[in-house]
Structure 1
Amino acid sequence: MESVEFIPYRPKEIKTLKVVPSDFTYHYKFADRSALERLLEENPEADDVIIEKEGLITDTTIANIAFFDGKTWITPREPLLKGTMRAYLLDQGFLQEKDIPSDSLERYEKVALMNAMLGFKILSHINNI
């Protein structure tokens, strides 16, 4: 049985991010977000978490992620979910895919989140925990 549900979208204000290791997979978007919600519950000091899998950055719990190195916006080569906004920005040449080790984040000047609802949102005044 299939169903359609409409839920109001309220963008979450993100001021703090924390890198958190996890090994779950999320190749397709589905309603059961309990594994993602658990990561947030286990890290209440952060507004959202950056998910690290096998030492590499993947996504946050709410969006794909990109980092600016001063010249280029870079997005993880292997995100948990290959979102539509990410795919569009890759097709346009705005983003480049690259493996992003979690220990290299201090090299980047800016961070942005992207999904179909947010578009491409550069986070200002972000604090990493």
Structure 2
Amino acid sequence: MFPFIESMSYIKGKILHIDFHQDRINRTFKKYYPYTKPLLLHSLHLTDNSGFIQKLRLEYNQHNFKWSLNPYQPTLFKNFIIIETEHLNYSYKYSDRLFFQHIRNLFPKETGILLSCHNQISDELNSNICFKKSDNWHTTEHFLLNGTQRNYLLSNNKINIVNIGIYDIHNYSTFKLINALNPLDTATEYSTQLISKMIKYDKL
């Protein structure tokens, strides 16, 4: 059983933003396995040098791990809804994502699902969110998982943290879904007009 995962972008023999992923693994070990040295990503013996973006999935526990490499194709959405949830905790990258999969299965695959808590936008099911106003990108103050791409962009002053409520969305023109495999520069840009309605989770 591997209770934790790490999803990374692997291209041309390198893990993109490896230090940010290593930091998250270190924090996970510090929290759950404080007397064990963390798994080191530099020690992985990866063999793919195809030149194409691969999704590197690492599953691990205190003493063991396994990894897989697969071609990556980003998901494209035609519309979005907001699901209002409460008491949802995903502060570490757990492999148990049954709650997210349950929500995903309730809607067509072309419908993107944004999450909110107490009317504050947090994340998409698999990504952090950045909203565009003029030439500036804002990411939500509230999040379920502080993603590595989000951290990278913040550390390089490419995005700013803003408290974004569901009623603030109309102040933004477009938004992007970002994660380790979808950097801000190349992620699909969606109109905020594609966000249609909010549904409370207990009403599903």
TM-score normalised by length of structure 1: 0.88
- 3-state DSSP class of the match of 1:58? strand
Q: How far apart, in 2, do the equivalents of 1:15 and 1:7 lie?
A: 28
Q: Is the 8 A contact 1:84 1:116 kept in 2?
A: yes
Ranked by relative contact order (alpha carbons within 8 Å, sequence separation 6 or more), the top structure is 1
The code of the aligned residue for 1:3 comes to: F
Q: Is the 8 A contact 1:58 1:79 kept in 2?
A: yes
The runs of 5 or more residues in structure 2 that have no matched partner are 1-62, 197-204
Q: Is the 8 A contact 2:149 2:178 kept in 1?
A: yes
Q: Which has the higher mean CA deviation after the structures are superposed, 32-41 or 43-52?
A: 43-52
The runs of 5 or more residues in structure 1 that have no matched partner are none
Q: How far apart, in 1, do the equivalents of 2:151 and 2:134 lie?
A: 22
1:14 matches 2:77: yes
Partner of 2:111: 47
- 3-state DSSP class of the match of 2:167? helix
Which of structure 1's runs of 4+ aligned residues deviate more than 6 A?
none
Q: How far apart, in 1, do the equivalents of 2:162 and 2:155 lie?
A: 15
Partner of 1:32: 96
Q: How far apart, in 2, do the equivalents of 1:72 and 1:97 lie?
A: 11
1:78 matches 2:142: yes
Q: Is the 8 A contact 2:127 2:177 kept in 1?
A: yes
Number of equivalences: 129
The alpha-carbon distance between structure 1 residues 103 and 71, as it changes in their structure 2 partners (threshold 3 A), is: same
Q: How far apart, in 1, do the equivalents of 2:100 and 2:64 lie?
A: 23
How far did 1:115 drift?
0.7
Q: How far apart, in 2, do the equivalents of 1:125 and 1:55 lie?
A: 20
Among candidates 151, 162, 174, match of residue 110 of structure 1: 174
The alpha-carbon distance between structure 1 residues 82 and 108, as it changes in their structure 2 partners (threshold 3 A), is: same
How far did 1:46 drift?
5.3
The alpha-carbon distance between structure 1 residues 122 and 13, as it changes in their structure 2 partners (threshold 3 A), is: closer
Percent of pairs identical after alignment?
22
The code of the aligned residue for 1:10 comes to: Q
- 3-state DSSP class of the match of 1:50? strand
Bigger fraction of residues in helix: 2
The alpha-carbon distance between structure 1 residues 39 and 67, as it changes in their structure 2 partners (threshold 3 A), is: same
- 3-state DSSP class of the match of 2:114? strand
